[in-house]
Structure 1
Amino acid sequence: MTHPPADGSPDQGPGREAPPAGGESVDPMFAEVADIVTFIDAPEPDLWIRPSTPPVTIEIVDHDPAWTDHYADLADQVRDSLAPQGSFVGIDHVGSTSVPGLKAKPILDLALVVIDPRDEDDYVPALNSIGLDLTVREPAWYQHRLLKRLDPEPGQLHCNLHVFGPRCAEVARMRLFRDHLRIHPDDRERYQAVKLASAAQSNAAGETVTDYNARKQSVLREIYHHVFASRGWV
Structure 2
Amino acid sequence: MPADRKPRRADVTAVELVGGIEKRDLVLADYDPNWPSWYRSHERRITTALGTGVQVEHTGSTSVPGLAAKPILDILVAVEDITAEEDYLDQLVDAGYELRVREPGHRMVRTPARDVHVHIHGIGDLEALDLLCFRDRLRSDPEDRDLYERTKRALIDQDWPDMNAYAEAKSAVIAEIKGRARKS
- Which of 65, 70, 83 does residue 118 from structure 1 map onto? 83
Runs of 4+ with >3 A deviation: none
Q: Which residue of 1 aligns with 2:32?
A: 64
- TM-score, with length taken from structure 1: 0.70
Contact 2:15 2:103 in 1 (8 A): no
Provide the C-alpha distance between the structure 2 equivalents of 1:56 and 1:74, rounded to a whole number of angstroms: 23
> C-alpha root-mean-square deviation of aligned residues, in Å?
2.0
Q: Which residue of 1 aligns with 2:8?
A: none
Q: Which residue of 1 aligns with 2:9?
A: none
Provide the C-alpha distance between the structure 1 equivalents of 2:54 and 2:15, rounded to a whole number of angstroms: 28
1:177 maps to 2:131: no
1:195 maps to 2:152: yes
Q: Which runs of 5+ in 1 are unaligned?
A: 1-27, 32-43, 153-157
Contact 2:21 2:162 in 1 (8 A): no
* Cα shift at 1:46: 4.6
Q: Which residue of 1 aligns with 2:107?
A: 145
Using a 3 Å threshold, how does the CA distance of structure 1 residues 151 and 58 change in structure 2: closer, same or farther? closer
Contact 1:61 1:105 in 2 (8 A): yes
Using a 3 Å threshold, how does the CA distance of structure 1 residues 172 and 45 change in structure 2: closer, same or farther? closer
Q: Which residue of 1 aligns with 2:95?
A: 130
Provide the C-alpha distance between the structure 1 equivalents of 2:47 and 2:19, rounded to a whole number of angstroms: 25
Q: Which residue of 1 aligns with 2:20?
A: 51
- Count of residue pairs the alignment pairs up: 175
Deviation string 1:154-177 (CA, Å, 9 cap, x unpaired) is xxxx11100011111112111111
Q: Which runs of 5+ in 2 are unaligned?
A: 4-12
One-letter amino acid matched to 1:199: I
Deviation string 1:49-94 (CA, Å, 9 cap, x unpaired) is 33332x12110000101000010010011001112xx7x4211000
* Cα shift at 1:185: 0.7
What are the within-5 Å matches in structure 2 for residues 1-234 of structure 1? 46-53=15-22, 55-83=23-51, 88-139=53-104, 143-151=105-113, 158-201=115-158, 203=159, 206-230=160-184
- TM-score, with length taken from structure 2: 0.88
Provide the C-alpha distance between the structure 2 equivalents of 1:117 and 1:134, rounded to a whole number of angstroms: 14
Provide the C-alpha distance between the structure 1 equivalents of 2:136 and 2:107, rounded to a whole number of angstroms: 23
One-letter amino acid matched to 2:124: R
Provide the C-alpha distance between the structure 1 equivalents of 2:14 and 2:81, rounded to a whole number of angstroms: 22
* Cα shift at 1:199: 1.2
Q: Which residue of 2 aligns with 1:9?
A: none
Secondary structure of 1:220's match?
helix
- Report percent identity of matched pairs: 33
One-letter amino acid matched to 2:90: P
